[in-house]
Structure 1
Amino acid sequence: MGKIIAFVICFALFLPMAITDEKYEIHEANIAISKNFLEANTNLIPPKNVTIVVWIKRVRSLNMQNQSIFFKILIDGEESIWWKQIYRGMDIWFEWPMAWNTVDYESGKEVPIQIEMWKKGIVDKPCDISKQKGKYLYGKSLTLFYNLTTGEWYGDDELKDGNGYGHASGYEDGNYCEDDYEIWFDIVEWDGDGDRLTYWEKLKYGFNTSKDYSKVDLDNDGIPCDWEDKYGYNPLVAEDHKHLDDDEDGLDNIEEWLTSQWFSDPFAKDIFIEVDFMEAKVGKDYILPKKSQQMICNAFAKHNITVHFDDGMLGGGGDMIPYDNRMYGDELMAARMKYFLHGDPNYWRKGVFHYAIICCQMGWGGRPAGGRMFSYDGFTVGAQYVRNWMWMLRLQGSDYITAMASVFMHELGHNLGLFDFEGIDNEKTRFPWNKEYWEYGNYKSCMNYRYVFKLVDYSDGTHGENDFDDWGHLDLRRFDEDWW
């Protein structure tokens, strides 16, 4: 127990600070690296063993269950959880490392790591966090192989796998009914210096092995060394990160790094949305319920797209706009400038986050409306409008949580470029006495007025005649263009 306490105290002293907008230390990259650097520096005595640390950053129930869970983490075949604990919640964020183990060092040695997540009950059952298929633990846990020299891993999660490095999901196997969870994690070697570069990587680059490079940009390309190394870039070779967007999600690498504190990945698609709310004149304030957010996240997760909501959780959203019975275009744009851009037309979140307002209602053509895209990066949902129609929506099998998620996803779809199909925003698809209601019945999408308020999904185009592949036509970069 004393060993554990000592480790935690030492680890806490060297915890890196969260990324901020501060200027980072810049050095001239006048370092020559020999291919035989390791052999040439025989006077350096490398450590004989290495402490591997596994961080579980966040887990999210894809089945939207508020249940009790616990972890089992094996490092090199040994149970390595340093503090066994049961957690409860639908979306849990963690602040401390979960497991650690010290192993003997060998050059290029690959250490097996297994991450298991269990649901606590009368009989404990494994949750699915793996892309592997199978009814038993193999098809539900993560098996990884960590290289002690490079600090990289592969296996059930790896760099450029399409879903994010240090990010896995039970949805990846295509089976959505297995107590599926989404998990974010990291694996590092603890040496007390604050960055994630291994001792041997620092030797390779010619770095000081005891210096913290998490905030040092040696090649002056705008991104610190350890982020570049983690994602396969050379920290001594300047990259045009401002114009690199390998995953085509509208975020260049500078923006991916700025949002990496919230788990964005330069090789996996991310969508960030800041959401503000409105005070109600009577009754409950107009907000986007957490479960509505989870439903939207789940729909995108099935397509390896991660949606990040900021309703105050990420330090920007959650503002309460004063009550307004009906907001019009100029009022919506004024709210965007005040609450989203904070009076600065070039505020850094512009082109990084979409912006949504949950208001009472908005005006459209002289009548109230339930939703509207009012800017190339902004849209609104009228919560009171949805509430007014709940009597009818319940008769059709919907509920308030689903209706809010559906309308929100509809307007987000416009932000992502969904316009050019006859079944989108077709007023005549609303009622069964119109032929268009039946003509576009196969278009099972929240972009179809027949299904908005009831369906939280886009169509994949596989339902027959007059269907449309929304998912295949999303353009995540569209909000980044001044086409409006």
Structure 2
Amino acid sequence: MRGKAIAFILALALIMPAIAFNGRNNLKIFNEKKELINEPQNVTVVVDIKRIRSHDLQNNKIYFKIYIDDEESQWWDQVFEGMDIWFEWPMAFKQVKYEENKVIPIRIEVWKKGIVDELCDISQDKGDYLYGKALKLFFNLTTGEWYGDDYLGDENGYGHSTGYEDGDYCQNDYEIWFDIYEWGEDGDRMTYWEKIKYGLNTSRDYSNVDIDGDGIPCDWEDKYGYNPVVPEEHIHLDPDEDGLDNIEEWETSRWLSDPFAQDIFIEVDFMKAKYPWQEDYTLPKESQYMICDAFIKHNITVHFDDGSMGGGGDLIPYDEGMDSKDLMAARMKYFLRGDPNYWRKGVFHYAIICSQIEWYWRPAGGRMFYTDSFVVGAQYVRNWLWSIKLQGSDYITAMASVFMHELGHNLGLFAFDGIDNESTRFPWQRGYWLWAPYKSCMNYRYVFKLVDYSNGDDKEYDQNDWAKLDLRRFDEDWWR
């Protein structure tokens, strides 16, 4: 992979002089330094696949076909394997002739290897074959923006698409993150013509420059439709109402957040097993992906940090039964790093996967112990695994369900009689049948079995949990 990446860079280095020097016409314009410069005649359009994730929880083998201006343009043909794959280098590029506001068609296809290769669904469109499954986009060479199956302001995110958007969940669905930009000598994503419009130096790299002093670099502001030379009060802007202001959205953009699409970040720490030969208490990747799948159907992207983002994945020493004091001490040590004002507070939720917890002097499967924090007792789930299997569920599903239940409390799901109702646990209880329409993991009848909140389809004894989520609530500095 590294050799191919080096070859990719060398290839771009060879074509860039033609773009930067040989391909200029006689149009004369001035930059902010009053230097006379000429407009490029050709530009290189780059399609950069950031990440792709399977919705079927399988380690499939996949490959890409990427068409730029109707020509297959991926730099290398390679098969990738895994449920969740991150990419380090751009996937495809093509040099095209520049014309003002010229639109370049781009098509991204994902194929699953098999006896007969199958086209995967990454499009919001319904239907089979290319129209309903491939991602069809149109890139403007002047503005550097694209539209089509994905666009700026898309509630699912700009540069983010999933086959779930069409409502059909059985089409080899994948979730994909990507970027499209013009490769230039300057190193940032702003086009030559955008820099002219903003009065910027066309040869300077503004990717990490905050020229208007509002706390966010020009590149990010330009990508998401803000003027990079006009200050904004980004610390007070939260257009998607997910509890992350624009400064925090920029800080988390390395993990693919979006200021106009709701994101939830969760740092997860684990607990060592009691004995060396036992399995540590963790949250399985498959459980994480089940939770992600439930939320993305409602255009909410969940990001787990189990060590991949530099914060989670700590192994807390074994504790037979964590009480409130233990939990708060762990939160301060492992999540806040001993600093009550640590930057992750108000950005990440915090979860601990431990052995068991004590709740009103009895073991429990989980609990919320602060507005941004909750705990799941994995040993408690293991102890009840025999019953869980008799109900047609399994450990992966049960852990995802309990985790999502406690996360629901972090997101404000409390004030409803079907939530945490002790009379709904067993078939011999009246509440078990009375609250059956409330198909939510917040209902004890369905916890361990269902990884979803209710959509409120039933009029009685039901509520729309998804409509009542408050993603900003965890950021409040209070506790009851």
TM over 0.5: yes
Give, in whole Å, the separation in 1 of the partners of 2:139 and 2:259. Answer: 21
Q: 1:375 to 1:42 in 2, by over 3 A?
A: closer
1:395 is matched with which residue: 375, 382, 390?
390
Give, in whole Å, the separation in 2 of the partners of 1:158 and 1:266. Answer: 13
Q: 1:5 to 1:370 in 2, by over 3 A?
A: closer
How far has the Cα of 1:43 moved from its partner?
A: 4.0
2:416 equivalent to 1:415: no
1:182 is matched with which residue: 175, 187, 190?
175
2:161 equivalent to 1:161: no
1:224 is matched with which residue: 205, 208, 217?
217
Residues 381-439 of structure 1, C-alpha deviations (whole Å, 9 max, x = no match): 00000000001111111100000000000000000000000000000110122211111
How far has the Cα of 1:3 moved from its partner?
A: 12
2:318 equivalent to 1:317: no
Question: Which residue of 2 is the match for residue 9 of structure 1?
Answer: 10
Aligned pairs (5 A) from 1:133-172: 133-172=126-165
Aligned partners of 2:5 and 2:89 also within 8 Å: no
Q: Which has the higher contact order (CA 8 A, sep 6+)?
A: 1
Question: Which residue of 1 is the match for residue 378 of structure 2?
Answer: 383
2:448 equivalent to 1:436: no
Residues 93-145 of structure 1, C-alpha deviations (whole Å, 9 max, x = no match): 00011000000000110000000010111211100000000111110001111
Question: Which residue of 1 is the match for residue 25 of structure 2?
Answer: none
Give, in whole Å, the separation in 2 of the partners of 1:206 and 1:258. Answer: 26
Question: Which residue of 2 is the match for residue 477 of structure 1?
Answer: 472
2:269 equivalent to 1:276: yes
Given residue 364 of structure 1, which amino acid in structure 2 is its aligned partner? W
Given residue 95 of structure 1, which amino acid in structure 2 is its aligned partner? E
Given residue 192 of structure 2, which amino acid in structure 1 is its aligned partner? Y
Q: 1:477 to 1:5 in 2, by over 3 A?
A: closer
TM-score (norm 1): 0.93
Unaligned 5+ runs, structure 2: 15-28
Aligned pairs (5 A) from 1:322-471: 322-471=317-466
Secondary structure of residue in 2 paired with 1:238: coil
Question: Which residue of 1 is the match for residue 303 of structure 2?
Answer: 308
How far has the Cα of 1:192 moved from its partner?
A: 2.8
2:186 equivalent to 1:193: yes
Give, in whole Å, the separation in 1 of the partners of 2:59 and 2:113. Answer: 12
Backbone CA RMSD of aligned residues? 1.9
Q: 1:53 to 1:381 in 2, by over 3 A?
A: same
Residues 150-208 of structure 1, C-alpha deviations (whole Å, 9 max, x = no match): 10000000000100000000000000000000000000111132211111111111111
Given residue 53 of structure 1, which amino acid in structure 2 is its aligned partner? V
User: Aligned residue pairs: how many?
Assistant: 460
Q: 1:374 to 1:389 in 2, by over 3 A?
A: same
How far has the Cα of 1:46 moved from its partner?
A: 1.1
Given residue 402 of structure 2, which amino acid in structure 1 is its aligned partner? V
Unaligned 5+ runs, structure 1: 14-35
Aligned partners of 1:10 and 1:192 also within 8 Å: no
Aligned partners of 1:118 and 1:127 also within 8 Å: yes
Aligned partners of 1:361 and 1:368 also within 8 Å: yes
Q: 1:469 to 1:12 in 2, by over 3 A?
A: farther
Question: Which residue of 1 is the match for residue 111 of structure 2?
Answer: 118
Given residue 49 of structure 2, which amino acid in structure 1 is its aligned partner? I
Secondary structure of residue in 1 paired with 2:321: coil
Given residue 265 of structure 1, which amino acid in structure 2 is its aligned partner? D
Q: 1:88 to 1:6 in 2, by over 3 A?
A: closer
Give, in whole Å, the separation in 2 of the partners of 1:69 and 1:43. Answer: 48
Secondary structure of residue in 1 paired with 2:38: coil
Q: 1:4 to 1:377 in 2, by over 3 A?
A: closer
Give, in whole Å, the separation in 2 of the partners of 1:65 and 1:12. Answer: 38
Question: Which residue of 2 is the match for residue 239 of structure 1?
Answer: 232
Q: 1:193 to 1:390 in 2, by over 3 A?
A: same
Question: Which residue of 1 is the match for residue 19 of structure 2?
Answer: none
Secondary structure of residue in 1 paired with 2:240: coil
Given residue 224 of structure 2, which amino acid in structure 1 is its aligned partner? Y
Give, in whole Å, the separation in 1 of the partners of 2:177 and 2:5. Answer: 24
Given residue 8 of structure 1, which amino acid in structure 2 is its aligned partner? I
Secondary structure of residue in 2 paired with 1:334: helix
Secondary structure of residue in 1 paired with 2:467: helix
Moved segments of 4+, more than 6 Å: 2-5
Secondary structure of residue in 2 paired with 1:143: strand
2:265 equivalent to 1:264: no
Question: Percent of counterpart pairs with the same letter?
Answer: 73
TM-score (norm 2): 0.93
Aligned partners of 1:37 and 1:204 also within 8 Å: no
Give, in whole Å, the separation in 2 of the partners of 1:400 and 1:5. Answer: 43
Given residue 297 of structure 1, which amino acid in structure 2 is its aligned partner? C
Give, in whole Å, the separation in 1 of the partners of 2:6 and 2:345. Answer: 44
